[in-house]
Amino acid sequence: MALQVGDIVEGKVTGIKPFGAFVSLPEGKTGLVHISEVSYEFVQDLSAVLSDGQTVSVKVLSIAPDGKIALSIKRTQPAPERAPRQPHGERSGNGGDRRPAPRPKREEKPRVWQPKPAAPQGEMSFEDMMARYKTRSEEKIADLKRVTENHRGGYSRRRG
């Protein structure tokens, strides 16, 4: 009897690699169970789940024209039940939720622009404030030049 896609057969694990396990099938054929097809749970190390010589039930997923056979162990077992999804906004506050809490409703009053309050200056003279302004301004210009030169490839594009 030739193997067909969808068949469930018994096989023996003949080799374990980091990417999957080789399984000896009837009629002397060998197939590969990829690590993602071993279990519905995350598998870090295959040797913790499977061992050489272990008999496993596998489902034939595909047979390539060159004879390679893709197998699955997890598809021979029923899928685990998942908890029903809750609609957005009704999630429990257990902290496992990555979404932020819903925002509170805005007031119905229109928003009006207001300037930011001035930072406390302390006891600075006018000369000190001007010197600080000049220093910050020069730093910003230097940063801007550095960024634009990086975008241009490090040279200026002058034309004569």
Mean pLDDT of the 101-118 span: 70
pLDDT score of 138 more than 60? yes
SS3 109: coil
Task: Give domain limits for the chain.
Answer: 8-76, 123-152
Question: Taken in order 55, 57, 59, 60, is the CA torsion positive or negative?
Answer: positive
* Secondary structure percentages of the chain, helix, strand, coil, to 5: 25, 20, 55
At residue 116, φ and ψ (nearest 5 deg) are -70, 145
- Residues forming a β-bridge with 9: 58
Query: 42-46, 51-55, 103-107: which has the minimum mean pLDDT?
Result: 103-107
- Residue 158 scores a pLDDT above 60: no
Residue 156, pLDDT above cutoff 60: no
98 pLDDT above the threshold of 70? no
CATH (residue range 8-76): 2.40.50.140
Tell me the one-letter amino acid at 18: P
**Beta-carbon-side half-sphere exposure of residue 114 (alpha carbons within 13 Å):** 6
The percentage of the chain sitting over the pLDDT mark of 70, rounded to a whole number, equals 75
User: What is this structure's pTM?
Assistant: 0.51
Q: How far apart are CA 14 and CA 53, in angstroms?
A: 6
